[in-house]
Structure 1
Amino acid sequence: MTALSGEQVRAVPKIELHIHLEGTFRPARVVELAAMAGEDPPRPVDRLFAVDNLADFLETLDWVCGLVRDQPTAEQVAYDFATYAHDQGIVYAEVIVNPTHWSGLTTAELFAACARGFDRAQADGLGDFRLLPSILRQQSEQEARQLVEWIEGAGLDRIVGLSIDGNEDAAGRTGPRFAPAYADAARIGLGRTAHAGESSGAEGVRDAIELLGVSRIDHGVRCIEDTGVLGMVLERGITLNVCLTSNCTLLYSSLDDHPIRELAAAGVHFTINTDDPETLGISLCSEITLAAEHLGWKLSDLIAAQHRAVDATFCSEADKQALRALIDQTVGT
């Protein structure tokens, strides 16, 4: 049993750095959008994401996001996420959005709508939520660089970084292809993260660090398979944004097989996240409780974990200081 109560987990102000907006559609919203579009779900909504592999998962994700065909709907999806986040005690999140999934909107339309949804949410006191446009791993070097060029010209303050997601195993090695886009992102001051070390092995983590210049990695847990790569993660202070249930759905057969204990013992900086909470039937509070039980966390460990998450954010130093103060004031430290 954990020394943390559910009330303690809920009460501590929390940061989430690895969550996809595409994975936050509530079932009722999916039903509503499908009816508006005159489409039938590929499976019953309560089993919509009951799939056996990442390819089928991504195909279903495309179908769901494709139901969003105007900006007001996209704005509401962003606001829906903010409502969920507030209920979880999440005060700040950097939300990954991959425009390739949203076939009904242009990149500009999508991010403008999401930014408006997050602006409205912050005005309503729900929290501070930023955006991470994401490259799909199957895209070309030119498409990736065009996304960064668009970010530079868009001038949306809520965009704070660049990500890559998609099926690493199916796409093969992509670090060299996307290194120019990441160099562009560094030039314009964007934070840089990438999915690696899940459907790819430790070599994906190495490429993300050496070729893309990331300061954090989404998943990254398979760095444990190569002592050299693990050493690189430690030496450069790379933060791993870990998603336990997600990893145990697609990668490990059980939590006991997950290397989170070994990573913690090695001194790796990591955060606890959900990845796709609605599709996995989880929440950030439930994932933190799972981690606390597995790692033997006390309240002080949870607070320290949130401070580590603040350190890994892509927001300004002033915003980081405000988040640290909020955490400490709330828990009375």
Structure 2
Amino acid sequence: MSKFVFKLLGISAIGLGLVGGWFAFELFSFQRNAMNVTAEKIFVVEPGSSLSGIARRLHNAGVIEQPRYLSLVGRWRGHAQRLQAGEYRLEPGMTPLQLLDRMVAGEVVQYALTVVEGWTFKEMLQAVAAHEKLSHTLEGLDSAQIMHRLGVAGEHPEGRFLPETYHFAAGLSDVEFLKRAYQAMRALLQREWPLRAAGLPYASPYEALIMASIIEKETAVPAERAEIAGVFVRRLEKGMRLQTDPTVIYGLGEDFDGNIRRRDLRHDTPYNTYTRHGLPPTPIALPGADAVYAALHPAPGESLYFVAKGDGSHHFSATLEEHINAVRQYQLRRQP
């Protein structure tokens, strides 16, 4: 072979090496340089999407300039078959490599829904039904049918779901959301029931849950929860009726117009603790963790009565005479 041929082959090898080096540098730069994202946006990866299809969509959206590069980088890193479906947040400064890593890890956009302390089961269902990122499958079902769908047929739903903020990916079903809230309350009771104060007049964790729901509706002042729990526990121990307005209101249901009257207190329902002794048959709302704790750890003392002072707090009394005077001071004087 002539010297000319050797020289030509050498030049070709150098050229190929230069091209290969340039291409490797291009890929390296592509995966680590920021994509064309000037404002936060959501990119949806549908189930069954291929890496090349994702790359084309990102290119068509103006996010990347070289879709082939993204496919090559993804395959080289072993990501092609590991990308997970869902919504992904594209942010200014994000690189293609960061996006691929996010898709492999399934770090999808998280949405939130807060179940509020003191809501009823009906109010929680309305909030769930209104959330556009949940998948809705329960429309038209009554409470019994919903509890059957949750796998707890026969249970009354009120109070069974823990109020807190839940995060989830788009498309989570309303059934799965409710299961999470249900399991959270169940776990809370299982954890706190064995730690309860001694001698409480509850036959089961469910009775403690009923008490917690009453405490939740009686006060918005955190410091009062244990004291109110103490009043109700002492009344139960003495065989006194609880005489708490929120249970009456719950028993009235749709008939309650916003004002509780004497005739309402005399109107007997299973939830009227003015006409019936003991706890109502079910919770009357969704109690938060603090209300559950208060029900299981009531404050000691002698108070048997309390009356709202008009500022959200209550006056506590140990005797009926003191209570009557407090009613005159805080309630009757405010009436027109």
Bucket of the pairwise TM-score, normalised by the shorter protein? under 0.3
Q: Bigger radius of gyration, 1 or 2?
A: 2
Relative to its length, the structure with more strand (as a share) is 1
TM-score, normalised with respect to structure 2: 0.26
Relative to its length, the structure with more helix (as a share) is 1
The structure showing larger relative contact order (alpha-carbon pairs under 8 Å, at least 6 residues apart) is 1
